[in-house]
Homo-oligomer: A and B are copies of this chain.
Amino acid sequence: MSLKATKILKNTPSIIASAAVGGKMENEGPMGDYFDKINDDPYFSAETFEQGECQIQKQAVLHALNKAQLQSEDIDVLFGGDLLNQCTGTTYGVRDFLMPFLGLYGACSTMAEGLLMSSVFVDGGYADIAMAVTSSHFCTAERQYRFPLNYGGQRTPTSQWTATAGGALVVSACKNPPYVRACTIGKIVDMGVKDANNMGAAMAPAAFSTISEFFADTGMSPDDFDFIVTGDLGKVGSRILCELFDREGIDIRDRHKDCGLMIYDFDEQDIHAGGSGCGCAGSMLCGYFIPQLRAGAIRNILFAATGALMSPTINQQGESIPSISHLLWISHESGND
């Protein structure tokens, strides 16, 4: 079965372990109990926020390895990336593991891209055991993309709160749920949004494009899934996504979940339009959805993390914000029985 953007994975690789790491705010949110490791110190005992973000990745990899009862030398390939320029959260976070490493750049879609790559490499026999990791950090992201925190800038109502979080997962050919059944590689979508404080609006059309493509390629529909999970569209982007599906006569509201709407408490935490960052979708997938899918409490999800491929430099030159979304069908059943 050869399809343009959607690949059916014949050998349905298994996600054998996953781990989520978070900060203080993530712990205080409604999903706090689903993190494997919480760090109250935003510096993670390091000297700078950037070095702190490296610790998120290191912790996520170590916890995932530990759960899988594996050593770093058992990993055939590690896929990783993050929001920092030159993906330094990843590079410096994982360099000590000496794993064969392939760096990704997909902004907040990185967890989906990493899982997609891991699944393809294992499905095709190019790796026995593959791993994916990602992270984000509120303080590093604000400094790099908007203003240094010391500036004390006011955040707009449409702005999202970059999660100080990360996730790592291990994929192998082993036959334990959950399984990755298919994946859809996203296309870059740019609807002309130029507001660096409104990532949800920029990313929603990318999620719509990829999820629609999956349905068109496979003939499946929202009814086939417990949840359609998006990465971090937040309030603004989630509303746009639902409205885009409305136009096609499809109501996804009763099964749409957005990691950016799940991770924080809108009443108690000052997070404006919701959570964001690679670590938002990364930690919700690794900390919550994968364990639920493993246990069978959830049977089938589409996981479509979204990334705003935003560059402050080129944005200040007047350019709009292109976005992308990659999708995975993750299931409690392998479908090969």
Give A residues with C-beta under 8 Å from B. 2, 4-5, 7, 47-48, 50-51, 76-77, 81, 84-88, 91-92, 94-95, 98-107, 113, 116-117, 120-121, 123-126, 128, 144, 185-188, 190, 309-314, 317, 319, 322, 324, 326
Give Cα A102 to B81, complex, Å. 12
Name the CB-closest residue of B to A50. B314
Give the distance to chain B from A113, nearest Cβ to Cβ, in Å.
Answer: 6
Chain B positions within 8 Å of A144 at CB level: 313
Choose among B5, B104, B107, B124 the residue that contacts A104 (Cβ–Cβ < 8 A). Answer: B104
Chain B positions within 8 Å of A324 at CB level: 101, 103
Q: Is the CB of B317 within 8 A of A47?
A: yes
Choose among B76, B188, B310 the residue that contacts A101 (Cβ–Cβ < 8 A). Answer: B188
Q: Is the CB of B311 within 8 A of A88?
A: yes
Give the distance to chain B from A245, nearest Cβ to Cβ, in Å.
Answer: 20
Name the CB-closest residue of B to A9. B126
Question: Lowest 4 CB-CB distances: which A-B pairs, in order?
Answer: A124-B124, A100-B185, A103-B105, A86-B311
- Copies of chain A in the complex: 2
Chain B positions within 8 Å of A105 at CB level: 81, 86-87, 103-105
Give the distance to chain B from A162, nearest Cβ to Cβ, in Å.
Answer: 15
Chain B positions within 8 Å of A123 at CB level: 124
Q: Is the CB of A103 within 8 A of B92?
A: no
Choose among B92, B120, B317 the residue that contacts A48 (Cβ–Cβ < 8 A). Answer: B317
Give Cα A319 to B91, complex, Å. 12
Q: Is the CB of A319 within 8 A of B92?
A: yes
Instruction: Enumerate 24 A-B pairs (CB-CB under 8 Å) in ascending A order.
Output: A2-B128, A5-B100, A48-B314, A77-B185, A84-B311, A85-B85, A86-B105, A86-B309, A86-B310, A87-B105, A87-B309, A88-B314, A91-B322, A92-B322, A95-B190, A95-B322, A101-B185, A102-B104, A102-B113, A102-B185, A105-B105, A120-B124, A120-B126, A144-B313
Give Cα A107 to B123, complex, Å. 27
Chain B positions within 8 Å of A124 at CB level: 120, 123-126
Chain B positions within 8 Å of A101 at CB level: 185-188, 324
Give Cα A188 to B309, complex, Å. 25
Choose among B126, B190, B309 the residue that contacts A7 (Cβ–Cβ < 8 A). Answer: B126
Give Cα A98 to B5, complex, Å. 11
Most buried by B among A48, A85, A190: A85
Chain B positions within 8 Å of A186 at CB level: 100-101
Give Cα A107 to B105, complex, Å. 11
Chain B positions within 8 Å of A76 at CB level: 4-5
Name the CB-closest residue of B to A312. B85
Chain B positions within 8 Å of A188 at CB level: 91, 94-95, 98, 101
Give Cα A88 to B105, complex, Å. 10
